[in-house]
Amino acid sequence: MSERIGFVGLGIMGAGMASNLIEKGHDVVVWNRTASRMEPLVAAGAVAATSPAEVGRLCPIVMICVSDTPDVDAVLHSDDGLLGGVSVGSLVIDHSTISPGATVGFAEEVAGLGGSWIDAPVSGGSEGAAKGTLSIMVGGSEAAVERARPYMEAFGTTITHVGPVGSGQQVKIVNQILVVGSQLAVSEALLFAQASGLDLEATLDAVKGGAAGSWMLANRGPQMIERDWRPGFTIDLQQKDLRLALEAADSVGSPIPGTALVFQMYRALQNEGLGGEGNHALVKALEKMSGIEVGSP
Ligand code: NAP
């Protein structure tokens, strides 16, 4: 039997994910802090709630997709927060990328009210959310994950149960270490191609199908050549993920020097007021060092 789904957080990712749930025929209740962001979803068939607590009262399963750990905390604990609507049998699915340690604490609070929690951060960018092709790394009990799976299938094509609560967020950190390494490589490669006077589009075509091919190269390479810095994923959110990565790596004693370097490069770009640009604007930090720009005539 299909259960009613609540969705809290209709940003770049959440709006796409909630749209896919509605499109696949699910009964969806939405709430977003900035109310105007609910309008397109309501036009598509969702019901607008007045608070996260109301979402919890109306829906046995509630998905969250907000920015950072303090924001999930606010969704849960603010006046009329979600915990006020959680009861025995509720399932909270957190698709935000947040601290693995805080996740375990949130899950314990929900368990104390008779509910369950799974952490289910996503990867695949704004494109993946819109097309319904996200990869989802999931931590939680087997029963909770299997209950959530049919609903996550509305927007995810790869759904992997990786372990207990918190381990989804840990695997997401693995994902982000890979993502920023790839972003740095694409930036250096395109800047070298530019400095060498190569045709950048032909260069991309030549390498993207071989061993050097990657999601970042295929999706963000063309945008970098066009100098289109509109965000699929902002530098500010990317930087938040790298902070989570540095904290988590420190806690287990694992060196991540490449990730630390990219963290510092993004910090420099934030200091220049570029935190709202897409994470592929990383190349701008290298442009400063080299005195040339990718995609310039
Ligand atoms: P976004 O477009 O900036 O949207 C953020 C959402 O969180 C908005 O709905 C915002 O509400 C809400 N929010 C933030 N702080 C809040 C608070 N204190 N209380 C209530 N609502 C709050 O971000 P996004 O790109 O969708 O990212 C959402 C999550 O997905 C993040 O954890 C991010 O790391 C992760 N993620 C993003 C991508 C990507 O490519 N964009 C990929 C994978 C994972 P308002 O509308 O009121 O601001």
Architecture per CATH, 170-290: Orthogonal Bundle (1.10)
CATH architecture of 5-164: 3-Layer(aba) Sandwich (3.40)
In the chain, where the domains are located:
5-164, 170-290
14 Cα–ligand 1 center, Å: 7
Mutating to test ligand 1, I would choose from 20, 33, 34, 244 the residue with most ligand atoms within 8 A of its C-beta, which is 33
- In this prediction, residue 1 carries a pLDDT of 67
Q: What is the mean pLDDT of residues 123-141?
A: 96
What's the mean pLDDT when you consider all of the chain?
97
Pocket lining for ligand 1, CB < 6 angstroms: 9-14, 32-34, 37, 65-67, 71, 74-75, 96-97, 122-123, 125-126, 232-233, 237, 241
**What does the pLDDT read at residue 218?**
95
* pLDDT band, residue 280 (cuts 50/70/90): very high
pLDDT at 296: 74
Distance CA 132, CA 257 (A): 34
Give yes or no on whether 5-164 and 170-290 have one common fold. Answer: no
- 172 in active site: yes
Q: Where are the beta strands (DSSP E) in 39-176?
A: 47-48, 61-64, 91-94, 116-119, 122-123, 134-139, 156-163
Ligand 1 atom, smallest distance to 240 CA: 34
CA distance 135 to 171: 11
